[in-house]
Amino acid sequence: MSKSVSEPASEYRLHPMPFLGGYDQVFSGLSLREAVGLAIVSIALPRGNPAGPALEKAFGTALPEVGKSANAANDKYRLLRLGSEQVFVLFEHATADAESEIAALIGGAAYTTDQTDSWVALSVQGARVRAVLARICPLDLHGGVFAIGNVARTSMEHLGTIILRTDEDQFLLLSASSSAQSFLHALETSIRYTA
């Protein structure tokens, strides 16, 4: 009888893997890396937004306008206003209980859904970042139109994408985790063709 048969199943340990294995590459004038450990919780606002005051109290900041983002007073949470009734909360969180943290924080004032495993997050930064994104993003990303902190839900290479400008030459891109490799391929191709 071999030793492995006698080992109880509880000996096995499963470790979560990032969708792109923690991708991190530097190109000329550009870096592209997977943002690992980012939790995403969706807040659906009840019609007429009666939850506004409760959310403002919970996060210490007013809800941003549609297309804008805001940091909570404690700088832990970043609120993305994606639509008149939808907000995404992004924050660093290691365990798989992000939704209950936000639900407890806002005291049930709005409807929360855990979106962490649905999205892959890629941070792209560099002097030529706008040229790279111009090939695949239908939005005008000029600083005068799409300022730091602006956020939009659009599609790139036929894949639904959320784009957030985190700095003058830095963007955070969220796309479906199930097509993470295709999304990465679209970005790598664009990086290559604009080099």
Closest contact distance (angstroms) between CB of 92 and other proteins is: 26
3-state secondary structure of 184: helix
Count of all residues that appear for the chain in the document: 195
Q: Which of 36, 151 has the CB closer to other proteins?
A: 151
Cα 166 to Cα 170: distance, rounded to the nearest angstrom: 6
Q: Which of 54, 176 has the CB closer to other proteins?
A: 176
Q: Which of 74, 155 has the CB closer to other proteins?
A: 155
Q: Which of 152, 187 has the CB closer to other proteins?
A: 152
3-state secondary structure of 129: helix
Cα 135 to Cα 194: distance, rounded to the nearest angstrom: 9
Closest contact distance (angstroms) between CB of 168 and other proteins is: 20
Closest contact distance (angstroms) between CB of 112 and other proteins is: 18
As a whole number of Å, the end-to-end CA separation of the chain is 59
Per-residue DSSP letter, 63: P
Closest contact distance (angstroms) between CB of 126 and other proteins is: 25
Q: Which of 66, 131 has the CB closer to other proteins?
A: 66
Cα 144 to Cα 168: distance, rounded to the nearest angstrom: 11
Closest contact distance (angstroms) between CB of 64 and other proteins is: 13
CA 131 to chain centre: 21
Binding site for other proteins (CB under 8 A): 47, 66-67, 82-84, 86, 138-140, 152-155, 160
